[in-house]
Structure 1
Amino acid sequence: MANDNARDVDRAWELMKKIGFAMLVTHDGDKLRARPMSAYLERDTNAIYFLTDARRHKDEEIARNPGINLSFANASDQKYVSVTGTAVVSNDRGKIKQLFSTPAKAWWNSADDPNIRVLKITPDDAEFWDAPGAVISYVKMAAAAVTGSRPDLGDNRKVAL
């Protein structure tokens, strides 16, 4: 059982890294807000980082309620990961310089932009869906519909991170 759990944890991190982008869901009062973000994973420290802008509302939302959800999705490959965790925003200039890369250049001219902040997510747990791909999944669903059986659409696991 322990090896299965370790393998499932490995798979959750692999899927997040491969997908690379997540919808960050925060609490805006009694509503939920989601926006796409480019993820920087550091599994060794159990952290997922994002660069964010101090002029945007997500920083204020996180300050009021640090509980978040990250939704990673690659629909064409039928790979999904949902992560729950806790977020904190900082102005760690060293970390900003470390994470600043091509995706960040779409939003800021340089790592020295005073509006850039680091959003660090400490994940609590994840659930992933790892299917064999869209075409195979559709074939399995069609076969199941004809035979009246349930399709085997890959793995679905919940893991503590």
Structure 2
Amino acid sequence: MAHDEDDNAKVWDLADKIGFCMLTTQTGLDLRARPMSAYAERLENAFYFLTDVASHKDAEVSRHPNVCLAFADSKGQKYVSISGTAEIENDREKIRELWATPAKAWWDNADDPSIRILKVTPSSAEYWDSPGTIISYIKMAAAAVTSSRPDMGDTGKVEM
């Protein structure tokens, strides 16, 4: 497998494992981020989110479709930043397919007419996958003593 394919797979694997991300949209001149439960669909080259038709992010995406998804597992020291283009869909079948426990906090059931799909098609990504907090601290301390740079794990940039 080529290095880019390895990096691409790493992005999808990390995002899928972490599951929640900060979705950043543009509100005019400002940027706004909020936590969202992401559904990674590698074969469809898309990330899906359930959203409400009355939410601000839907209007923001309509005006400024470029978004950023920031996934973070701070305990495991694993991070993914994905840039892409978002769109709002009213695909009732996909809504039922994605319906899961986190959605029950916002809606009674998958048939609620106010639920929409926010689909993000990724264009590029960057990831950081270090060995974990304790090992990272040990490597940083050793590097400080030896005046060298620590090996903090894998990192990569990939076009998606």
Same structural fold, with TM-score higher than 0.5 when normalized by the shorter chain: yes
1:11 Cα deviation from its structure 2 partner: 0.8
1:61 Cα deviation from its structure 2 partner: 0.3
- Residue 86 of structure 1 aligns to a residue whose secondary structure is strand
Aligned residue number for residue 54 of structure 1: 53
- Supply the distance in 2 between the matched residues of 1:18 and 1:65 (Cα, whole angstroms): 28
Question: Residue 119 of structure 1 aligns to which amino acid in structure 2?
Answer: L
- Supply the distance in 2 between the matched residues of 1:9 and 1:62 (Cα, whole angstroms): 25
Aligned residue number for residue 104 of structure 2: 105
1:3 Cα deviation from its structure 2 partner: 1.4
Is residue 136 of structure 2 the alignment partner of residue 137 of structure 1?
yes
Alignment length (residue pairs): 160
1:112 Cα deviation from its structure 2 partner: 1.0
List structure 1 segments (4+ residues) > 2 angstroms apart after TM superposition: none
Aligned residue number for residue 69 of structure 1: 68
Unpaired runs of at least 5, structure 1: none
- Supply the distance in 2 between the matched residues of 1:113 and 1:140 (Cα, whole angstroms): 51
Aligned residue number for residue 156 of structure 2: 157
- Residue 13 of structure 1 aligns to a residue whose secondary structure is helix
Unpaired runs of at least 5, structure 2: none
Deviations 1:98-138 (A, max 9, x none): 11111111111100111111000000011000100011001
Q: Please show how residues 1-80 of structure 1 align to structure 2 within 5 Å.
A: 3-80=2-79
Q: Say what the alpha-carbon RMSD is for the aligned residues.
A: 0.8
- Residue 158 of structure 2 aligns to a residue whose secondary structure is strand
Question: Residue 150 of structure 2 aligns to which amino acid in structure 1?
Answer: P
Determine what percentage of the aligned residue pairs are the same residue. Answer: 59
Q: Please show how residues 87-102 of structure 1 align to structure 2 within 5 Å.
A: 87-102=86-101
Question: Residue 57 of structure 2 aligns to which amino acid in structure 1?
Answer: K
1:55 Cα deviation from its structure 2 partner: 1.5
Question: Residue 47 of structure 2 aligns to which amino acid in structure 1?
Answer: I
- Supply the distance in 2 between the matched residues of 1:45 and 1:90 (Cα, whole angstroms): 15
